[in-house]
């Protein structure tokens, strides 16, 4: 399949790669938020001047988050191959790629969550505490609801980053458009595949960004 391909050959490859990318990004986004949101909340409340001061825990979490954010993703991909194989049973395919993609993304989202909670008016927190509310009441009734628009913007930004991560996962056979671009585009010198994957990736990023921005604006107007 070196050189040019007919549309009948190219279309199934692009469709399958797109579906694998959407599956990979969707699953990774779910686990990224599932892990990153509570970690970000814990970072916020455990500060020295926070709602539940735990300086040692906060310092440890901060160090882990900063290390995860500073490590190049391509290095993380390779370093996590043994862990991914032990957890999933293989390092190939979209499901296996979810592991390093999630681990690479959740520190970023955790820090965004902490920053989003910083923007909440402390007066709302004090009002709940003055009425006898506890830490969980503050988190559920003040922090998360008030920070929701910013959190949604952070999720949008994270999903856009996950699309890029999913493409890089193709380096280790992670499936999706990145794997397609490497195996059928780069290695076989097929410009059609390269251009097709780039166009689809740009369209995915633009679609996610536009949908996220629209949802954030709608929530902001309602508030």
SS3 state of residue 217: helix
Render pLDDT for 110-148 as a digit per residue (tens, 0 to 9). 999 999 999 888 888 888 888 888 888 899 988 999 999
Number of domains in the chain: 1
Is the pLDDT assigned to residue 1 strictly greater than 50? no
pLDDT of amino acid 135: 87
- Whether the Cβ atoms of residue 51 and residue 143 lie closer than 8 Å to each other: no
Domain that holds residue 109: 5-219
Compute the 3-state secondary structure of the chain and give helix, strand, coil in percent, each to the nearest 5.
Answer: 85, 0, 15
What are the C-alpha distances in Å from 220 to residues 40, 67, 142, 148, 198? 22, 33, 16, 9, 33
Q: Which residue has the tokens 């709940």?
A: 128
CATH number at residue 17: 1.10.3720.10
């Amino acid at each position: 399949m070196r050189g040019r391909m007919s549309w009948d050959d190219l279309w199934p490859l692009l469709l399958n790669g797109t579906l694998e990318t959407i599956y990979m990004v969707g699953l990774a986004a779910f686990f990224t938020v599932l892990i990153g949101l509570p970690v970000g909340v814990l970072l916020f409340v455990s500060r020295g001047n926070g709602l539940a001061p735990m300086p040692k825990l906060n310092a440890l979490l901060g160090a882990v988050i900063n290390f995860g954010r500073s490590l190049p993703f391509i290095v993380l991909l390779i370093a996590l191959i043994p862990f991914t194989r032990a957890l999933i049973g293989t390092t190939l395919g979209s499901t296996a790629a979810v592991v390093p993609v999630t681990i690479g993304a959740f520190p970023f989202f955790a820090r965004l969550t902490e920053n989003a909670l910083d923007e909440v008016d402390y007066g709302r927190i004090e009002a709940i505490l003055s009425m006898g509310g506890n830490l969980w009441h503050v988190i559920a009734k003040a922090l998360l609801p008030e920070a929701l628009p910013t959190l949604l913007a952070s999720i949008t930004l994270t999903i856009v980053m996950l699309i890029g991560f999913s493409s890089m996962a193709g380096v280790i056979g992670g499936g999706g458009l990145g794997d397609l671009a490497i195996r059928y585009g780069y290695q076989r010198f097929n410009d059609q595949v390269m251009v097709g994957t780039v166009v689809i990736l740009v369209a995915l990023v633009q679609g996610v960004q536009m949908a996220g921005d629209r949802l954030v604006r709608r929530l902001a107007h309602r508030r």
